[in-house]
Structure 1
Amino acid sequence: MSNRDRIAIFPSRMNLTAMKARLKGAQKGHSLLKKKADALTVRFRSILKKIIEAKQLMGDVMKEASFSLAEAKFTGGDYSPVVLQNVTRAQVKVRTKKENVAGVNIPVFEHYEDGTDSYELTGLSRGGEQLSRLKKKYAKAIQLLVDLASLQTSFVTLDEAIKITNRRVNAIEYVIIPRIENTVSYIISELDEGDREEFYRLKKIQQKKAEAKEREDVARASEREALWEAGNDPSVQSYNEPKNMLDDEDEDLLFK
């Protein structure tokens, strides 16, 4: 911790309590973010496994669909112009929804069919069975493509969320918590030093008071001793013997 950071914080009991509360909050936040990162990582790995399986399956599905297309063309001829003339709107559509994973919204795509089959009468003359098989194969391929697109989008979203969460976890663990702990240690050391200085000051005050009292006692004892010696001196008998107002030398003062 730098001297500038230490100077900015006054070492008091109130600041110590506040910094301990901040330290506890930082540790709690670190724990929660760590759990969030773990949950996102588990889901990330699960999606990665599904992506690998979907890509491996995609090759076989597309191969079967292409082979079915070749069979249909061989049996029924080229019916592409008929299909293009009947196309008015998409029958298979994709909609999006959100799925919450540990506070992160990831997009999920799902396909659905809107309307009836526009090509149900196509191939009645010849090649109907091959055409029906072709539609089923490509419908399966479209469904797999939509699922793969959903997994890929979720994969990218989770990857970015995991990076951000891990940066926050590392920042709290290696920057914020050590800085707060250093601040708490600094405040505690300053307060302990202040307590030691206060104890030393009080001890010195008590010592000076004791010395002053001792000097005062010595002075009083000296004064009492001086008074006692003065009382035994014949030249200062007046300190010892009270005067009689009826003495002859004072008679003229009484009746003057």
Structure 2
Amino acid sequence: MSEVPPTRMNEQVFKGKKKAAQSGHGLLKKKADALKMKFRDYAKQIAETKSGMAADSSSAFFSLTQAEYAAGNFKQKVSEGSMTARIRVGAGIDNVAGVKLPVFTYYETGAATDNASLGLVGGGKKIQMVREKYSALLQNLIKLASLQTSFVTLDEALKVTNRRVNALENVTIPKIEKTLDYIARELDELEREDFTRLKLVQEKKKAAIKAADAEAAAAAEAEKKAGKENVPAKKNKVADPDMTANFDAGDDADVVF
């Protein structure tokens, strides 16, 4: 987590990764559920097929013994024929939740048998019964081989899917969530640091403004005091003397008009 820079962009990136991981986990979970259902179905079919295989095998081998008893040893006559295959196995693919499973199918080629004359002397019905019994046994064997191969392939795919689901659920998604928690904590811490820094800056600005106002007020007060001291004091006004106080009328000669 220390290698991831705690930025908003990385937060968005990891949110996208978390969403993609959760979507993938959901899809893989559904795939695992579908594979489990198919797995149980195959297991049930394999158990049913195997349970009938013992009876089919014993019946087929017993019918062969009966035919040899009725018609004699006809194995050499069968091997002397052209040995053209009447039954073949076809291979196909079944897609289950994106997993390709091999499927084997039983089909007849329609080729004519060269040993059709077997049993004309005796035991023809028993030989025909042997054909039918072994054809049914071969059909069940092909079905069992197909089920068993698909079962093994499905088991491997289910293990891989479960490992991926567990890895996403227990490793990838928790790691992304821890990274997102780390980024969120770091971003919150950065926001708190920015808020504290802005608050300190505002307090410093307020203190500077207050100091400037105090200085301005002090300067104004000082200028006011200085202006009062420079104004001159007013003198007391003395009443002007009476101009006629010192005048003596006897000193003047009479003025005759």
Query: Do both share a fold (TM > 0.5)?
Result: yes
Q: TM-score range by the shorter chain?
A: 0.7 to 0.9
Distance 2:213 2:111 in 1: 118
Distance 1:236 1:146 in 2: 134
Query: How far apart are residue 126 of structure 1 and its match?
Result: 1.0
Find the counterpart in structure 2 of residue 82 from structure 1: 77
**Residue type of the partner of 1:67?**
F
Cα-to-partner distance string for 1:91-142 (whole Å, 9 max, x where unaligned): 2110100000011000000011113241333212211100111100000000
**Residue type of the partner of 2:75?**
S
Cα-to-partner distance string for 1:22-68 (whole Å, 9 max, x where unaligned): 11111111111011011101100110011011111000001110110
171, 176, 186: which one aligns with 1:175: 171
Change (3 A) 1:236 1:162: farther
Tell me the secondary structure at the aligned position of residue 205 of structure 1: helix
87, 94, 99: which one aligns with 1:99: 94
Query: How far apart are residue 8 of structure 1 and its match?
Result: 1.4
Runs of 4 or more, structure 1, over 4 Å off, are none
Query: How far apart are residue 236 of structure 1 and its match?
Result: 9.7
Find the counterpart in structure 2 of residue 250 from structure 1: none
Contact 1:75 1:127 in 2 (8 A): yes
Structure 1 gaps of 5+ residues are 1-5, 238-256
64, 69, 78: which one aligns with 2:64: 69
Q: How does 1:84-233 map to 2 (within 5 A)?
A: 84-118=79-113, 119-233=115-229
1, 5, 8: which one aligns with 2:3: 8
TM normalised by structure 1 equals: 0.88
Contact 2:85 2:111 in 1 (8 A): no
Contact 2:88 2:108 in 1 (8 A): yes
Distance 1:191 1:234 in 2: 64
Find the counterpart in structure 2 of residue 56 from structure 1: 51
Contact 1:230 1:236 in 2 (8 A): no
Identity %, equivalent residues:
45
Query: How far apart are residue 12 of structure 1 and its match?
Result: 1.0
Tell me the secondary structure at the aligned position of residue 86 of structure 1: coil
TM normalised by structure 2 equals: 0.87
Structure possessing the higher radius of gyration over alpha carbons: 2
Change (3 A) 1:199 1:116: same
Query: How far apart are residue 235 of structure 1 and its match?
Result: 8.3
Matched positions, count: 232
Change (3 A) 1:53 1:208: same
Q: How does 1:16-27 map to 2 (within 5 A)?
A: 16-27=11-22
Distance 2:127 2:182 in 1: 80
Query: How far apart are residue 234 of structure 1 and its match?
Result: 3.1
Contact 2:84 2:111 in 1 (8 A): no
Change (3 A) 1:220 1:72: same
Tell me the secondary structure at the aligned position of residue 88 of structure 2: strand
Distance 1:95 1:185 in 2: 56
Structure 2 gaps of 5+ residues are 234-257
